[in-house]
Structure 1
Amino acid sequence: MVATIAASAKNTAFQLDTERNRGDAVYEKLLELLRNGDDEERELAEALRQQIDRYRSAGDELLSQDNREGDLERYHRTVNPLLRHAAGGCEKLRAANFRAMRQTGGQH
């Protein structure tokens, strides 16, 4: 998102779409891996999807504003906290996965 703010308007949409498509593909792989997984992991994955969607919405809102002055400061104030929240969701999912592996004897 920060790179998108700094990029020219011509490249912004392409860069953003490319990164979002990559993120969506990785998320779909995650869901596939969790299909037969533990309920906690699937619930955390759904919460992560919601966090990602909130981050994207906030980013879209920022990029839709006509006044570009102060975008970086607005990003750090309004968008970046949502990114950190989503990163925390990833950490919770990782921890749940480790717990599930330990419970099933999957840890070597």
Structure 2
Amino acid sequence: MDSLTWIAVASIVMAGLTTGFGTMGPALAEGRAVSVALTSLAQQPDASATITRTLFVGLAMIESMAILLLCRVDDPDLRQPILECPIASVCSGGR
């Protein structure tokens, strides 16, 4: 394989890895936030309105990080390769 093919393979692998690791962070953060909120609700049921409101605001901010990551990955203008990928012509039938 020539160097352009290696660059294409490396970019595909790295895109998959960064997407996977980038979505793990928000998922773990949301799980931790819900866990702590449920513990707080069990300990102080009188403060349920404040805890719930704060939880939803926090979850919205955490989820926005995951949404921005997926928008970045799915935006075709931002995915344009720096070098022309030889695999693209093979996959598209030489067009």
Structure-2-length-normalised TM-score: 0.51
What residue is the counterpart of 2:45 in the other structure? 68
CA displacement at 1:47 relative to structure 2:
0.9
> Unaligned stretches of 5+ in structure 1?
1-34
Alignment of 1:61-100 (within 5 A): 61-65=39-43, 67-77=44-54, 79-99=55-75
Fraction of identical pairs, as percent = 9
Q: What is the RMSD computed on CA atoms of the aligned residues?
A: 3.0
The structure having more radius of gyration, on CA atoms, is: 2
Distance in 2, Cα, partners of 1:97 & 1:48: 16
Structure-1-length-normalised TM-score: 0.46
CA displacement at 1:81 relative to structure 2:
3.3
Count of aligned pairs between the two proteins: 69
> Unaligned stretches of 5+ in structure 2?
1-12, 82-95
Distance in 2, Cα, partners of 1:56 & 1:70: 15
